[in-house]
Copies of this chain bind each other. A is one copy, B any other.
Amino acid sequence: MNRFSVRPLHEVTRTLANVASRRQSPDLVLTGARILSTYTERFLDDREIWISEGRIAAIKPAGTCFRTDGVPIYDTEGGILAPGLVDPHIHIESSMMTACAYAEGALLNGTTTIFCDSHEIGNVCDRAGIEWMLADAREAPLNIFLTIPSTIPATNATLETAGGDLTPEKVGAIFDAWPEAIALGEKMDFVPVCMSDTRSHEIIAESLKRGRPVSGHIYGREFVAAYAASGVTDTHEAIDRDIADDFLEAGIWIFLRGGPPTTPWHSLPEAIKTVTELGASHKRVCVCTDDRDADDLFLFGLDWVTRQAVVAGIDPLQAWSMGSLHPATRYGMDGEFGALGHSRRADIVLLNDELEVRNTWYGGALAVEDGKVTPLLDEQLSDERYQYPSAAYNTVTFEDELNLLPVLPDAACTINVIRAELPGIITLHRQISLSTGLDSWEDLFSKHDLCFVSVVERHGKTGEVACGLLQNLGLKSGAVASSVGHDAHNIIVAGTNESDMHMALSEIKANNGGVVVVDRGVVKARLALPIAGLISEKRAPIVAEETSALKAAWGESGCILPYMGFNLIPLSVIPEIRITDKGLVTVPEMEIVPLVT
């Protein structure tokens, strides 16, 4: 069961015409249902769906099918049949799962098609990593399309060492080699784009000249005009009502992002006010997940996001359309999915009146029933998953004997410090003046709420380590470390002492990547991410469980900055100050600054 289990439409139109004309029996009938029509935004009562060749041959009044003996009929008992959801923008790697594993969580959420941007594995493994994930995606029981990562590296080799360097030529080569690469992924360097940077526009051109769209990522109303003028036609970063409105008027589709309400990613409730308060048509509005931790995938899937649109005041039929037909239309693929149209893939969900997913049929095959994975899907996920090549397991390279502590002078000095701020996106640039130089780390730490933070290059390129000080992490003792240090994914380690920091690094190295919490020589939690140092080999429920355990240990260590915010500490494109393997970076200036001034 994968995307190719359903034959291309052009091979089966004659069969579908025969079934729809009642000259041939379908393979399956779903009957006694209310149809949620995303085409007309109405419910249609007492209908049935005739399925043949994994596609919808016709939707007709219940009980009217021509059906030979033995053809199965599934009585939905008045439930709602709706199209499977279509997620227009996600990063699979954020779930720390393979594409095959991710499919399990997606199908449980009623999501049957996703447009992913494999920006993270691309930053580690360049084009090869993106292509491994595409091969993985082809074996997954999910329609997975790629929006090609467009901004690798996030900055440049002066500011950080990344594993990948996705040139315009490589972007073009991926388009030409992989038909499922259907757009350019979020062009994150929106300031250079607006400033007409040559390489940024050359990458955009690779998509436009093939007639493919360009996805966006942008903050700040002052940048909208030039960004849209550059050919970008969607964004998932509509964080409030007014910028959402600007996007729509400039010709940019908006993907309203929903996420756990305690995180800053849950921008849907504000952005949707362009519709509910400013009266914009909803027809170019979609919903998306963007990033989702493995455990959150089971609680805050795209179905949940869609229901949040209802909570925010959108009509339920319009909301489901924003999660299915609209994303399909945005990518010009509404002839294949996004609605219960004749000839479309039979990617169908059964909902209760609260729009909660009970069943999911993927290409006409029952993959989820009563909220649980069916034996059919379970067997596939156990046996038929893609195996990444050995190179994918060999991406964490650094020396054992590293100095992880900064050096401070014995004289008066001023130290540049990174202050973590909740909810965990922006950092603040603080300076601490020492009138007589360093007395002891303990005194300094307790007085200013500091700990050590280091970034270790792990791509085997430079072997460099940068050491600094982090304020307001909250860590009481021990160390935390991660090989998911956005976007270059070098190792970030923070700690109160060098010994635990070394132990955390050793754990990560031993697992070829991962996230770890260590205290006084004891590993409190460990999530192994051996594939590219980003991805677990395990199935979705196990990764979810391990993620929960990690988060619990993370909280017990005292860290108030969430795990995701910690991973962003090296991301040298978000203000105000960051640390990469090259040192401290002040973002507005895009400069390396010394620890001590």
Footprint of B on A, CB under 8 Å? Answer: 8-11, 13-21, 23, 37, 39-42, 44, 56-60, 193-196, 198, 201, 204-205, 208-209, 213, 225-231, 233, 245, 248-252, 274, 278-281, 283-284, 329, 332, 335, 339-344
Contact = CB atoms under 8 A, between A and B. Distances in A.
Contact of A249 (B8, B44, B284): B44
B17 A230 contact: yes
A166 to B, nearest CB: 18
Contacts of A17: 193-196, 201, 226-227, 229-230
A378 to B, nearest CB: 32
A9 B229 CA distance: 10
B37 A249 contact: yes
A248 B245 CA distance: 29
B250 A281 contact: no
Contact of A251 (B14, B194, B251, B343): B343
A278 B41 CA distance: 11
A13 B341 contact: no
A344 B251 contact: yes
* Residue among A9, A278, A339 with max Cβ neighbours from chain B (10 Å): A9
A57 B280 contact: no
B228 A341 contact: yes
23 contacts: A10-B205, A10-B208, A13-B208, A13-B230, A14-B196, A16-B226, A16-B229, A17-B194, A17-B226, A17-B229, A21-B225, A39-B248, A39-B251, A40-B281, A42-B279, A57-B229, A58-B228, A213-B335, A225-B342, A228-B343, A233-B335, A251-B343, A332-B332
B18 A196 contact: yes
Nearest to A340: B251
B19 A341 contact: no
Contacts of A15: 196
Contact of A194 (B21, B57, B245): B21
Contacts of A58: 225-226, 228-229, 250
A196 B9 CA distance: 14
A458 to B, nearest CB: 35
Majority SS at the chain A contact face: mixed
A225 B60 contact: yes
Given A208-B8, A279-B42, A229 B339 contact: no
How many copies of this chain are found per oligomer?
Answer: 2
A193 B329 CA distance: 26
Contact of A201 (B13, B248, B251, B274): B13
A58 to B, nearest CB: 4
A248 B325 CA distance: 13
Contacts of A252: 341
Contacts of A250: 58-59, 341-342
Contacts of A196: 14-15, 17-18, 21, 23
A252 B193 CA distance: 38
A367 B472 CA distance: 64
The 4 closest A-B CB pairs, nearest first, are: A251-B341, A332-B332, A228-B342, A40-B280
Contact of A231 (B13, B42, B284): B13
Given A9-B208, A13-B205, A204-B10, A343 B20 contact: no
A9 B201 contact: no
Contacts of A233: 335, 341
A230 B343 contact: yes
Contacts of A283: 283
Given A8-B209, A10-B208, A13-B201, A343 B225 contact: no
B16 A230 contact: yes
A448 to B, nearest CB: 41
Contacts of A198: 14
A205 B8 CA distance: 10
Given A39-B280, A40-B248, 19 more contacts: A9-B208, A9-B231, A10-B208, A10-B231, A13-B229, A14-B196, A14-B201, A17-B193, A17-B196, A19-B229, A21-B195, A37-B249, A40-B278, A58-B229, A251-B341, A251-B342, A251-B344, A329-B329, A332-B332
Contacts of A44: 249
Contacts of A225: 20-21, 57-58, 60, 342
A59 B245 CA distance: 13
